[in-house]
């Protein structure tokens, strides 16, 4: 029998009332006494379940409702409608036992005290979560080693690089050993090396402690590296809930063929073999329908001066873009 979900959302909905106001002086005066409102549907009827130990990607464009959903699941805001259970608790009750089981890390927010060493923030969190001194020291050393941050613990936060600050943020957020991690753009603004380090840490933390992770990111490399399953949300509605591989099959019914030619060719010469997405010198990139891939590759090898050929899945960024261009509600959503 399967375990109960670590995160369960049922018809989760959040509407906001936004006041309408004109630009003229008369409109401002009228707005002061008689206000009109419009309803903004930030999240509309979202339902899904995330099971213990899963790492699930939560994808969508800016304004799709990702952060609003995370805020409801962590109890920061109340839903307009719907229910949720996280680690067995109703989030917006904000019970002490619930707060000890979850954490929310936002790439554009920080809890570290700017002019003090990061370890001082860790001590503050240890006091809040009632972590004994010996256990606090052990956890800090363990997490700092996993994050390659041991030598930076006593430096003022303002002297840390952006990547080091993000690592320290993760350490502070995970010190109480939460069961459920909500990570909202944890690699935002980081360079490639720092992104890789954060990804590897999240993977190792999940493996070592069995934590459940719901991850939002605009960096598709984060999703591809960490998540076998993804949720896709657009305009507040869930469009897809399933395997990352299934997303590729459903919204990218084609494969990418990369060519290195022996001599440059015009675009017209390549067009009969697939959709030409890129052509620069001797390098070309074609999109070919999956069901005709074998046939088209054979034609390319027989009729074009090919030096090298590679067949691969299209970039995840392109697949996600197609989802948002042609939104189809998820089955059961």
pLDDT score recorded for residue 270: 94
Return phi, psi of residue 91, to 5°.
-55, -45
- How far is the C-alpha of 63 from the C-alpha of 178, rounded, in Å? 28
Q: Which two tokens stand for residue 56?
A: 């699930």
Identify the domain containing residue 208 by its residue range: 7-248
pLDDT score recorded for residue 332: 41
pLDDT at 330 over 60: no
pLDDT at 251 over 90: no
**Whole-prediction pTM value?**
0.82
Kindly state whether residues 183 and 284 are assigned to the same domain: no
What is the pLDDT confidence band of residue 333, given thresholds at 50, 70 and 90? Answer: very low
Kindly state whether residues 203 and 276 are assigned to the same domain: no
pLDDT score recorded for residue 203: 95
More confident residue, 315 or 194: 194
Chain Cα centroid distance, residue 23: 38
In this prediction, residues 288-316 reach a mean pLDDT of 91
In this prediction, residues 170-199 reach a mean pLDDT of 93
Tell me, yes or no, whether 324 lies in a domain: no
pLDDT score recorded for residue 109: 84
Kindly state whether residues 147 and 196 are assigned to the same domain: yes
More confident residue, 136 or 291: 136
Kindly state whether residues 62 and 200 are assigned to the same domain: yes
Tell me, yes or no, whether 319 lies in a domain: no
Tell me, yes or no, whether 86 lies in a domain: yes
Tell me, yes or no, whether 327 lies in a domain: no
Q: Which two tokens stand for residue 302?
A: 């027989």
Residue with tokens 């979560």: 129
pLDDT at 183 over 70: yes
CB 114 within 8 A of CB 157: yes
Domain total in the chain: 2
Kindly state whether residues 200 and 266 are assigned to the same domain: no
Closest to 106 in 3D by CA, of 147, 70, 156: 70
Kindly state whether residues 177 and 276 are assigned to the same domain: no
Instruction: Tell me the helices (H) and strands (E) count for the chain, helix number first.
Output: 12, 13
pLDDT at 29 over 80: no
pLDDT single digits (tens) 108-149: 788 999 999 999 999 999 999 999 999 999 999 999 999 999
- How far is the C-alpha of 300 from the C-alpha of 281, rounded, in Å? 17
């Amino acid at each position: 029998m399967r375990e109960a979900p670590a995160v369960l959302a049922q018809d989760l909905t959040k509407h906001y009332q936004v006041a309408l106001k004109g630009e003229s002086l008369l409109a401002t005066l009228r707005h002061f006494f008689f206000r009109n409102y419009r309803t903004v549907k930030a999240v509309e009827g979202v339902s899904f379940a995330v099971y213990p130990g899963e790492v699930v990607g939560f994808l969508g464009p800016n304004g799709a409702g990702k952060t609003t959903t995370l805020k409801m699941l962590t109890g920061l805001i109340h839903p307009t409608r719907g229910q949720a259970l996280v680690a067995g608790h109703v989030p917006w009750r904000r019970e002490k036992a619930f707060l000890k089981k979850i954490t929310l890390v936002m790439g554009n927010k920080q809890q570290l005290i700017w002019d003090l060493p990061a370890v001082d923030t860790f001590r503050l969190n240890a006091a809040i979560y009632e972590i004994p001194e010996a256990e606090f020291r052990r956890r800090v050393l363990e997490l700092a080693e996993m994050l390659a941050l041991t030598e930076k613990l006593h430096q003022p936060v303002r002297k840390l690089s952006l990547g080091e600050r993000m690592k320290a943020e993760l350490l502070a957020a995970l010190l109480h050993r939460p069961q459920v991690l909500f990570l909202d753009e944890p690699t935002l603004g980081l360079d490639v090396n720092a992104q890789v380090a954060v990804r590897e840490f999240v993977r190792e933390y999940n493996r070592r402690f069995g934590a459940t992770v719901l991850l939002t990111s605009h960096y598709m490399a984060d999703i591809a590296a960490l998540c076998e399953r993804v949720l896709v949300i657009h305009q507040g509605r869930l469009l897809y809930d399933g395997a990352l591989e299934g997303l590729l099959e459903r919204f990218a019914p084609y494969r990418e063929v990369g060519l290195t030619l022996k001599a440059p060719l015009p675009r017209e010469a390549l067009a009969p073999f697939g959709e030409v997405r890129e052509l620069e010198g001797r390098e070309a990139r074609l999109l070919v329908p999956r069901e005709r891939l074998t046939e088209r590759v054979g034609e390319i090898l027989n009729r074009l001066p090919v030096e090298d050929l590679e067949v691969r899945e299209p970039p995840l960024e392109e697949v996600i873009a197609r989802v948002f261009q042609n939104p189809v509600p998820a089955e059961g959503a």
